[in-house]
Structure 1
Amino acid sequence: MLYHKLIATGRNLVIFLALLAGVASLQLSRLQTLQRPGDDYAQIEIDSQVRLDGLRLQLLKQLPSLGFRNLIANWTFLDFLQYFGKTELRERNNYRLSPAYFRVIVDRDPWFLRPYIFLSNSVSMYAGQPDVSVALMEQGLQSMTPTLPPRSYFVWRYKGIDELLFLGDGMAAQQSFEMAAEWARQSPDPESDAIAQVSQQTAQFLSQNPVSREAQIGAWAEVYLRAVDDKGRQIAREKIEALGGEIVVSEGGRVSVQYRASESQGPQDSR
């Protein structure tokens, strides 16, 4: 029986690698185009690259897993990082492929937490589709528990931030932060107590005022901390300042938010 299982696994691996080679050939074609000296990203080339990326994503979506779902999710995330790293390319195509990357990863491996940080930002803040980001996080959460995968409570926080800042739905955000607090309290993770406390505090702010300035500033502070590029940090800083706060970075690198003198609140520690 073990022999037959090993044979089947080996056969699946060969088939999977052959299929993946087809995706890799598209990846190589894309890199050769993007890395040409003096490339100024003419619009016709932008459109061509978007079509190529879309085709590769479609292949990844339809690729039979054959027991390698995690590998497909990892491959897709690495591909997204290359896409996101080409600033001019992604800005000129309006980040339109970000939702497709997010969808493939959640479909293949909803426990893969790292992409949620990158893709919730990219889909909500840059691609302007927070409803899609929230829906995909809801899908991923259906496969999670308070303890598995470790630190799963963060996905509830990301969802609450998108609902509050990009959908303007304070009531939904309150529920998400309450769930983040509940899951964090059940988690053995060392930082879970602090996350439970801050999540419950945000939910309390929102229960009293669905458009709470304190909750919005706190949410933008988290966006600032987990931003993956300077543009994201600049957007978050501007939003915090517009709400009456200020980002302060200590000599030791600790980030906090201080309210202006005209505001009645004290400093809010963010890291």
Structure 2
Amino acid sequence: MLLLSRKAIITPVVICACILGVGLIQFPELQKLINRKQSASLETLEKEIKSENLRLKFLQKMPSFSYDNFIADLVYLNFLQYFGDDEVRDKTGYSLSPEYFEIILKYDPRFLAAYRSLSVSTSLYAAMPERAIAISEKGLKSLSPSVPEKSYYVWRYKGIDELLFLGDAKAAQKSFATAAKWASKFSDAESQMIANTSQRTAEFLSRNPNSKYAQISTWAMVLNNQADERTQKRAISEIEVLGGKVITTPEGTHQIIFPPKD
């Protein structure tokens, strides 16, 4: 009985120590990286990026002790700090973005908001759409049309990456068609809107793999997807290059005018 009692006490202590260790490993070092800003040399920042990468690799391999969602949330907060530090990212780039999401979606593949951040940070900023798609495909194995709610968005993000950053119209068509199929199972206005726009994009691509309409529609998804200012500028620029126009309404929404011909 005494042995069992000791085990009952020691096990939670060990688990808590490990979880606390994650925080101690992650936050102070990441905070140092963030606080350096313009005063740090590029060499110093690169060393710290390598150190952060080693910590992320450790987190990828360490046992979770059933604290999967806690670890995913913690690493996602770390990512938001990393991604939001524009001054340092302008110097070092966004190469660690996929490393964060390998961990986040390993521990919580149903973390819907993470997929949106994965697409933007890894495909658009880090220029690694292959990694973003591979991570999404792995996560999709744990999803279904209703779990989590609005999981059809993951297929949309995947389709965006395939079309805009890989130029793979065939794969994008399948992703948008699947998004439409999953969204059509629900009767609410948002799901029906996603089902209709995804189906139209898939049809554009089936008729014309090089469809400007499909590409403009997809950049419009990026533009209207809670995008930061830099992403909005990139999306508007790409739409204009394709012959479209973007009008910002007084309410702050964006209206897209398509070119006369596809």
Query: Does the alignment reach a TM-score above 0.5?
Result: yes
Distance 1:39 1:88 in 2: 7
Q: Report the AA paired with residue 251 of structure 2.
A: G
Match of 2:39 in 1: 40
- Structure 1: 4+ residue segments shifted above 4 A: 10-13
Match of 1:169 in 2: 168
Cα distance change on mapping 1:235 and 1:21 into 2, 3 Å: same
Q: Report the AA paired with residue 25 of structure 1.
A: L
Distance 2:188 2:16 in 1: 36
User: Following superposition of structure 1 onto structure 2, how do residues 28-107 of structure 1 map, counting pairs within 5 Å?
Assistant: 28-32=28-32, 34-35=34-35, 39-107=38-106
Match of 1:124 in 2: 123
Distance 1:78 1:17 in 2: 19
Structure 2: which 5+ runs fail to align?
Answer: none
Secondary structure of 1:55's aligned partner = helix
Distance 2:246 2:12 in 1: 50
TM-score, with structure 1 as normaliser: 0.88
Query: How many residue pairs were aligned?
Result: 256
Give the CA RMSD over aligned residues.
2.0
Cα distance change on mapping 1:13 and 1:239 into 2, 3 Å: farther
User: Following superposition of structure 1 onto structure 2, how do residues 187-198 of structure 1 map, counting pairs within 5 Å?
Assistant: 187=186, 189-198=188-197
Structure number having the greater helix percentage: 2
Distance 2:33 2:193 in 1: 47
TM-score, with structure 2 as normaliser: 0.90
Q: Report the AA paired with residue 146 of structure 1.
A: P
Distance 2:120 2:33 in 1: 27
Match of 2:252 in 1: 253
Cα distance change on mapping 1:259 and 1:80 into 2, 3 Å: same
Q: Report the AA paired with residue 90 of structure 2.
A: E
Distance 1:12 1:146 in 2: 38
Cα distance change on mapping 1:209 and 1:48 into 2, 3 Å: same
The answer as to whether partners of 1:60 and 1:76 remain within 8 angstroms in 2 is no
Secondary structure of 1:128's aligned partner = coil
Deviation at 1:188, TM superposition (A): 5.4
Structure 1: which 5+ runs fail to align?
Answer: 266-271
Identity value in percent: 41
Secondary structure of 2:257's aligned partner = strand
Secondary structure of 1:183's aligned partner = helix
